[in-house]
């Protein structure tokens, strides 16, 4: 295994020991990728005190040799179930207390493992790998910067070529295409492209509606870089006659976002950062129209810990990466959300995204 993955597994071993387990069966595919570098799925990882074994099948044999040449693998034969493979490697390792990822393993599989291994005690473990993933290492931060750059380059092309007859769906598809042309895996999630009143839907699906008559369009997109790390941005482009109402809402949301970003530093409480943006929007009279948390973590998943929300108990630490995305959504009129990706550093923070967002930079005549 590469050094970075060995470091992660060694840290995990210490957590497993604290939980009172002898080993951990990692069943969350993203966690398997984080610990090994293997980018496939349908594979589990057994992390033991003396090493790791990846349980997979013949479809991934060559891929595993390419991505994880030094990783011990148990490739089950055709017709051999994953359950039987789990039982075999657990018995071979003489594990008495097996940790399981309680948030990932189904009740049915847990029961099946318990039946197949009656002499083994199953120890539910919560978030052991996710807790490691909270703090990004240098390679992860580099990958997240790459993901942000891919998203921004694609958006610049879309913005420069925007036409009145384009539909929301066409713009979403073009974002995907451009990210791939620039070397990414594609979008990190289906882009949200919502024109006019449809921008009041925070998670609107792109439709066949043209953007010509709406006057403005909200675009929420991100890129998946070659290593699987994600970015997440949102901008609102003004494509028609300037609306004083839209400008007022936009300036409120922008101020809320800027103040929240300024509050991000090591030791700050996630709930307090959320409150900075929420108070700004509330004092402007739009509090009830900001109905979601301020942001979320980024990494191999588009939504992961930590959360910036009013009920979060997280204290920010260097190496965490979060989105900051306040929004105001008025039914029948539309919505404004402005989103950037932010790294918490030892000195404070570093905004990883730099696509223009000042009000006078949002006009795109079409």
Q: How is the chain split into domains, by residue range?
A: 3-133, 138-361
Residue pair 297/286 in contact by the 8 Å Cβ criterion: no
Q: Tell me which residue of 230, 196, 199, 226 sits closest to 213, measured CA to CA.
A: 196
Q: What's the whole-number mean pLDDT along residues 156-181? A: 97
C-alpha–C-alpha distance, residues 50 and 298, integer Å: 31
pLDDT of residue 214: 87
Domains 3-133 and 138-361 fall in the same CATH topology: no
Indicate the pairing of strand 97-101 with strand 121-125: parallel
Q: How many helices (H) and strands (E) does the chain have?
A: 10, 18
Residue pair 145/352 in contact by the 8 Å Cβ criterion: yes
pLDDT of residue 313: 96
C-alpha–C-alpha distance, residues 180 and 349, integer Å: 29
Q: Tell me which residue of 225, 271, 273, 248 sits closest to 330, measured CA to CA.
A: 248
pLDDT band at 342 (very low <50, low <70, confident <90, very high): very high
Above 60 in pLDDT, residue 366?
Answer: yes
Structure tokens at 226: 């070659």
Above 70 in pLDDT, residue 344?
Answer: yes
pLDDT band at 6 (very low <50, low <70, confident <90, very high): very high
Quick: pLDDT tens for 247-305. 999 999 999 999 999 999 999 999 999 999 999 999 999 999 999 999 999 999 999 99
How are strands ordered across the β-sheet holding 23-26? Answer: 72-75, 51-56, 44-48, 23-26, 97-101, 121-125
- The third-level CATH classification (topology) of the domain covering 3-133 is Creatine Amidinohydrolase; Chain A, domain 1 (3.40.350)
The H or E element containing residue 210 is none
Backbone phi, then psi, for 242, in 5-degree steps?
A: -65, 130
pLDDT of residue 365: 85
CATH number among 3.40.50.880, 3.30.70.260, 3.90.230.10, 3.90.1200.10, domain 138-361:
3.90.230.10
pLDDT band at 218 (very low <50, low <70, confident <90, very high): very high
């Amino acid at each position: 295994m590469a050094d970075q993955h060995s470091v992660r597994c060694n840290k995990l071993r210490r957590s497993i020991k604290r939980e009172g387990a002898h080993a951990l069966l990692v069943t969350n595919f993203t966690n398997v990728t984080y610990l090994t570098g293997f980018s496939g799925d349908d594979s589990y990882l057994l992390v033991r005190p003396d090493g790791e074994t990846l349980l997979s099948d013949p479809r991934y044999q060559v891929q595993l040799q390419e991505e994880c040449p030094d990783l011990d693998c148990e490739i089950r034969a055709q017709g051999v179930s994953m359950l039987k493979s789990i039982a075999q490697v657990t018995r071979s390792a003489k594990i008495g207390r097996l940790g399981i990822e309680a948030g990932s393993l189904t009740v049915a599989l847990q029961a099946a493992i318990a039946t197949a291994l009656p002499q083994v005690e199953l120890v539910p473990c919560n978030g052991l790998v996710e807790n490691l993933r909270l703090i990004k290492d240098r390679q992860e931060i580099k990958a997240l910067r790459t993901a942000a750059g891919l998203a921004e380059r694609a958006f610049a092309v879309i913005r420069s070529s925007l036409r009145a007859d384009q539909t929301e769906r066409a713009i979403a598809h073009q974002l995907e295409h451009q990210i791939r042309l620039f070397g990414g895996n594609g979008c990190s999630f289906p882009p949200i492209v919502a024109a006019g009143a449809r921008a009041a839907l925070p998670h609107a699906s792109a439709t066949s509606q043209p953007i010509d008559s709406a006057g403005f369009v909200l675009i929420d997109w991100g890129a998946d870089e070659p290593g699987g790390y994600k970015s997440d941005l949102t901008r609102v482009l003004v494509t028609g006659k300037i609306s004083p109402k839209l400008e007022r809402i936009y300036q409120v949301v922008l101020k809320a976002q800027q103040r929240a970003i300024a509050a991000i530093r090591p030791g700050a409480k996630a709930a307090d950062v959320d409150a900075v943006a929420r108070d700004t929007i509330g004092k402007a009279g739009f509090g009830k129209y900001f109905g979601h948390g301020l942001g979320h973590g980024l990494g191999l998943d588009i939504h992961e810990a930590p959360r910036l929300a009013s009920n979060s108990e997280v204290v920010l630490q260097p190496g965490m990466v979060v989105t900051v995305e306040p929004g105001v959504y008025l039914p029948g009129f539309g919505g404004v959300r402005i989103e950037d990706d932010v790294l918490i550093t030892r000195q404070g923070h570093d905004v990883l995204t730099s696509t223009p967002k000042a009000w006078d930079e949002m006009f795109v005549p079409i």
